[in-house]
Amino acid sequence: MYKIEINVSGQLRVLLFRGPGWRKTMLDCWYHHLDRAEGGEEIRSIRVWGTVGNKTDIVLEWPAATARSREC
């Protein structure tokens, strides 16, 4: 199962994809929304989680998370 969370103008939208063959559909949706975000629409973030069994990982994230530097 894949879960996509899209933050559009501060509103969170959640899409779920599950079953055989849904990985390609999920990736098509990912690229569609990424194109819209880069085209100037107010999309603040997109995250995709993949679940296999009882393990969940972030598969994709836009914009990519950056490490914060520590100031001493």
Q: DSSP secondary structure string, 1-46? A: -EEEEEEETTEEEEEEE-STTHHHHHHHHHHHHHHHHHTT--EEEE
Q: Where are the domains of the chain?
A: 2-62
Q: Which two tokens stand for residue 39?
A: 């085209």
Question: Residue 35 has which token pair?
Answer: 């194109």
Residue 40: predicted pLDDT = 77
According to the model, what pLDDT value does residue 68 have? 45
Sequential pLDDT tens for the chain (72 residues): 889 998 988 889 898 988 888 888 888 888 888 888 877 778 888 899 888 778 888 788 988 765 443 343
